[in-house]
Structure 1
């Protein structure tokens, strides 16, 4: 008898296999071994899910904000109470260190769900008024409808929350597809949600890229949302455009981290090494493209390499010293190692630069210095534990280097000069600019980028508004005063 786990689709409140019976293997990235199977859903499964979603929407759309709030608050309590079980599942799902999932993800997810529970009751619009004599105009903010959502593999459970929580708070119904490599934690959450939300309000389908394509081109969803690569986002946008449905895209990044010579170097090294290597650098906001002023370049690079080399990788749920776990999958590991192996002759690998042998998909914490603006390591999203370091002379050059990218998600500035910090925050062309820090996020503030990093905001009231539509209601009453 096999001891492999089996995940399922959840459609209209029912746990079920794919209609065709097709399944896919799920690999534990810490061991490289298959530990579970999940449905390989096809267009028929997607259609069943959206039929259920559309049917449920006809009632859920009229649910009161209080009803939606109470459901989300109950879900937050369930996740909080089941935290240890979910942490163990995510460890097998992604290889993440348990202590960091416990401190950095579960409490944040719970807080974000509770934020959107409150947000359900405070949506605002323009006040009613007479903008034409004899008529009163008002604005209705309505749920956009059933939505299709695709979550990524780097933060499979937290990114799922970023998607379903605002959608449900707004009165939408959801069909979600987790990444084909990391369905476990989403499956756990969506199972729990069936006891909280009416049947068909939240549906889960698993599968590969073809499943995602079937989801985004289906006629029912009025909005499709994806967190993923720029390539995937462009495909979703193209598919959505063919049916004039909305697209919400949170895509790749290549965050510039600008360190001026008046910065607190020790604080900068600590903050940047942690923000660049957290989650093995598998973060679209990761602090990986470091641009340092010439006066402190050598000293900073040496300190950064020392800090990175001290970061421990591996997988042992009981080891609180492990800072990051494995790369998610073999293809991504090959992508990272290929970029480093192809580094130009003028590049200097200061520390790391190698796969770690044995089972699983592990890569050394790596710092590569002396890179030039046109190098592949600078222009390409690495999405791994690799920090690159470049040199600049003055502020204008730093701005040019920082903005010279197709991405526009996040950035940071490290300086003790408040005027420099303010000026840089204006000049950097990114959806977020951190000053003397990098990577903190809060539920109240939006997360989203420009250019090839996509459009649409996650978190905050802006994120919830994306799941609504605006209706103007005008009534003729004849009174002109």
Structure 2
């Protein structure tokens, strides 16, 4: 699709999606969506407000009882059709992601396939919301446990994976029997709106899924969280915003799932296969140009192999083609907006000012768009801000260690605990270190951990709950205990 444009998607809604149809915002507002490669406007979408948020809740409430009563097999078949439609339209979806997000097409194609898999996985899980029956220990009665949908769910998703973060929430919610309101990031609303159309085409009934683009995220989400009909919040985004939403949710004691920030350590021991470690580093660091909560953020490399690892990583990263995400030759696209590019630049310059040395990259290229060069830094001092912040860009700071305990201590020295990566030739060491790392996920001799069939989530301030796997659907179910004698 060399000539891809929005005209290639005549069914793409550019208004709010409420009650199964596209409609303008109540106050008529709209906002522009920009191409990160140029800064140019690519579309204008409806800007939802509080009245629109309440309309979404009304639609979700009207559909809730019948959707919860829909047979699990029927819900499963709808999700399966959504998977098939996404797969059939995968090239269109990938190009749309690249256009509004900036990520390189190979990454966008990978995201599209990953996103579709959540619909397939939860099509299979929809029929497995099993309860239990047992005799009470006293023998006085039976204990019957039912699994029922938690209720209307507000889903708030980020810009870095506009398809996958939507399907990772919508899939289990629909499988469990919940109706949902998706609030996508205002940088990337187009992919979410296309998901709404695809779900409608798959047979999702009116009102079961609403999509609410809005520049007033705080106001509209707060309004929904303070409506007693809303019983679930699932949020993916920064820890800072997550704290605010948890406080908001407390007023109505809303059930919350939080997938928050990360600061992933990437440990390379002296006995590691360096070829495998470099390949894993390229995946863990450069997938989506580093704009991922799972991105390797801090590289702790044994002193005996640090120079070789750093030079080889720099060689690989410096050879990557930087350009517009929609160009088939591009390997590293622009960052999503000016603010993101400026933040990465600030972190790199701060590290250099503190004594770090640039091996490759280190600055913004002189070109239109929100780009940053693939960068490797060495001799990074432990107090540098870049080691405490989520970089969200194509920058790899390298720190050396000489002792296993030292490496684990440095890796765990963060408020975050989403994912860690470990490379070693000693399986016993790998498992031992994996157990000691304080994170919800570990990639052991692997640079990629995400899988729809696996529970995704973190410890500490990286979140609450899990997405994916059977656990992901449990976050949208409540256990009801019935005491009965027969």
- Tell me what 1:424 maps to: 433
- Tell me what 2:212 maps to: 205
Preserved contact between residue 254 and residue 288 of structure 1 (Cα < 8 Å): yes
Please point out which of 411, 423, 433 is paired with 2:420.
Answer: 411
Separation of aligned partners in 1, 2:411 and 2:84: 42
Q: Within the alignment, does 1:179 sit opposite 2:188 as a pair?
A: no
- Tell me what 1:16 maps to: 23
Separation of aligned partners in 2, 1:291 and 1:245: 39
Can you list the C-alpha shifts for 1:236-263, whole angstroms capped at 9, x where unaligned? 1111111101111001101001100111
SS state of the match for residue 210, structure 2? Answer: strand
Separation of aligned partners in 2, 1:134 and 1:316: 65
- Tell me what 1:351 maps to: 360
Unaligned runs of 5+ in 2: 1-5
- Tell me what 1:323 maps to: 331
Preserved contact between residue 130 and residue 146 of structure 2 (Cα < 8 Å): no
- Tell me what 1:165 maps to: 171
- Number of equivalenced pairs: 473
- 1:125-274 to structure 2, matched below 5 A, reads 125-195=131-201, 196-208=203-215, 209-210=217-218, 211-274=220-283
Mark the CA change 1:312 to 1:299 in structure 2 (over 3 Å): closer, same or farther. same
Q: How far off is 1:6 after superposition? A: 7.0
Separation of aligned partners in 2, 1:167 and 1:432: 23
Preserved contact between residue 350 and residue 368 of structure 1 (Cα < 8 Å): yes
Preserved contact between residue 305 and residue 350 of structure 1 (Cα < 8 Å): yes
Mark the CA change 1:10 to 1:338 in structure 2 (over 3 Å): closer, same or farther. same
- Tell me what 1:310 maps to: 319
Preserved contact between residue 286 and residue 439 of structure 1 (Cα < 8 Å): no
- Tell me what 2:98 maps to: 91
- Tell me what 1:68 maps to: 75
- Tell me what 1:123 maps to: 129
Q: Within the alignment, does 1:42 sit opposite 2:61 as a pair?
A: no
- Tell me what 1:332 maps to: 340
Please point out which of 359, 363, 373 is paired with 1:364.
Answer: 373
Separation of aligned partners in 2, 1:140 and 1:181: 40
Separation of aligned partners in 2, 1:465 and 1:114: 17
Q: How far off is 1:375 after superposition? A: 1.2
Preserved contact between residue 125 and residue 139 of structure 1 (Cα < 8 Å): yes
Q: How far off is 1:220 after superposition? A: 2.2
Preserved contact between residue 73 and residue 126 of structure 2 (Cα < 8 Å): yes
Mark the CA change 1:77 to 1:68 in structure 2 (over 3 Å): closer, same or farther. same
Q: How far off is 1:181 after superposition? A: 0.5
Separation of aligned partners in 2, 1:243 and 1:160: 24
- Tell me what 1:373 maps to: 382
Given the two structures, how large is their TM-score scaled by the length of structure 2?
0.94
Aligned-residue RMSD, C-alpha = 1.6
Q: How far off is 1:185 after superposition? A: 0.9
Separation of aligned partners in 2, 1:89 and 1:262: 43
Q: How far off is 1:300 after superposition? A: 1.3
Q: Within the alignment, does 1:300 sit opposite 2:309 as a pair?
A: yes
Can you list the C-alpha shifts for 1:198-246, whole angstroms capped at 9, x where unaligned? 1100001001233333344433210111110111111111111111011
SS state of the match for residue 388, structure 1? Answer: strand
SS state of the match for residue 342, structure 1? Answer: helix
Please point out which of 96, 108, 114 is paired with 2:114.
Answer: 108
SS state of the match for residue 440, structure 1? Answer: coil
Given the two structures, how large is their TM-score scaled by the length of structure 1?
0.95
SS state of the match for residue 147, structure 2? Answer: strand
SS state of the match for residue 108, structure 1? Answer: helix
- 1:381-400 to structure 2, matched below 5 A, reads 381-400=390-409
Separation of aligned partners in 2, 1:259 and 1:130: 52
